[in-house]
Structure 1
Amino acid sequence: MNSQPPSEQAGPGGPAEESTPAGVVGARIRRYRKERGLTLRGLASRAGLSIGFLSQVERGISSIGLTALGSVAKALDHSVADFFDSGTSSPDSAATPLPRHFTLTRAETVTTQYVSGQQTYRMLSDRGPELVLEPMLVHIAPGGRRENAYGHSGEEFAYVISGELLYEVEGVEHRLCPGDSVHLRSSVPHQLYNDTDSVTTVVSVVTPRLF
């Protein structure tokens, strides 16, 4: 672990380019952080993340998971959706108000989708004002950088549909294959990584809702 925090400068690679999904997210984190007059250290402290990791995310070197991004968004007083291009989401918005106690999503419904680095998140349900679960279909491409283990409020469940996934919980790695699942209190430090050469598809359910 580096003993000195990274510089506020973007480094040899320059600021994050908004031509890639990771670049879009990183550039917007940097922009919103600067608008609030926060240093990397200040944002890292508020979001519960490391300075080095946030620096890499801002430069588009590392991607950030939705739950960690949720903490960053809260610290910057923004919604998670603010960090993505409008073109990455395609909500099937209806004028009719949603019922408070349930939603119904058909297979043909165009649902919201977000791309962050190696991971593509497809929301599996519409917004329900009294519902707390966030169900998602997640496609995790191989490669990329491993994120730091991270804890946050709520619970997390992941079920592997295809491919394999390394899921680290409290420093212990568990290899998940199709049909395997993990369910944990999200305050426990955890992270996931696809170390294979093919895409892994997972059904993930987290609390609280991110959007």
Structure 2
Amino acid sequence: MRTSAARERKTEQSHDQVGARMRQFRTERGLTLRGLAARAGLSIGFLSQVERGVSSIGLTALNSVAAALDRPVAEFFADGDATTSDGAAAVLPSHFTLTRAESGATEYVSGQVTYRMLSDRGPNLVLEPMVVHIAPGGRREEAYAHAGEEFAYVVTGELLYEVDGVEHRLRPGDSVHLRSTVPHNMYNDTDQVTTVVSVVTPRLF
């Protein structure tokens, strides 16, 4: 398992890598920041900060950017930012997956946030379950609305969760469940890593 120190080192580097990939894919498509912002439903200023490595971007917002650029989300992460098990996955029916603890899980790091995917891909499944580790500090991501629903349950630490302009402080055992079409964001304003179990729709990968 990745140590907390290794996760912190990876976090320090990752938002620069994601931003660089975003700029590369945008210029390859011949899009301006304004054009990408219009397609992705995000502000020009925020996307500019992400490209310059000043701000990180959450997976749901990155999913909109990826769709606007016609790229898979995984391509925004530099080699090594996604770690997977070496074990071969069993062939299972399309209506379910079975993910064993010993087989490991894929992790994606974006800025202060590490997403540990809890489920293998399934063609007929719509939920995206994750364990999310949110390091303290960094710039706060702008509130963002998108299709689907999301659920977050705080396991350790504290989380400031904004929904439709109202801030809610979540502590261990607290949870929030919302339609993602309502603008929302989350931020760790403490000095400790916060761990959250999150489920979102639609699937991001």
Match of 1:168 in 2: 162
Q: Is 1:64–2:57 an aligned residue pair?
A: yes
**Aligned CA-pair RMSD:** 1.2
Deviations 1:62-100 (A, max 9, x none): 000000000000000000000002312223363653421
Paired residues, number: 193
* Alpha-carbon distance in 2 for matches of 1:120, 1:99: 30
Shift of 1:43: 0.1
Amino acid at match of 1:164: E
Note the 1:28-177 alignment, pairs <5 A.
Answer: 28-92=21-85, 94=88, 96-177=90-171
- Are 1:161 and 1:201, in contact at CA under 8 Å, matched by a contact in 2? yes
- How big is each residue's C-alpha offset from its partner over 1:18-46, in whole Å with a ceiling of 9 and x where there is no partner? x8100110000000000000000000000
Q: Tell me the SS of whatever aligns to 1:41.
A: helix
Q: Which residue is equivalent to 1:185?
A: 179
Equivalent-residue separation in structure 1 for 2:14 and 2:84 (angstroms): 18
**Pair 1:20-2:13 in alignment:** yes
Q: Tell me which moved more, 94-103 or 59-68.
A: 94-103
Q: Relative to total residues, which structure has the larger helix share, 1 or 2?
A: 2
- For structure 1, the 5+ residue unaligned runs are 1-18
User: What TM-score comes out, normalization by structure 1 length?
Assistant: 0.89
Structure 2 spans left out of the alignment, 5+ residues: 1-11
Q: Is the 8 A contact 1:98 1:128 kept in 2?
A: no
Identity %: 76
Structure 1 residue aligned with 2:8: none
Contact persistence 2:83–2:108 (CA under 8 A): no
TM-score, normalised to structure 2, is 0.91
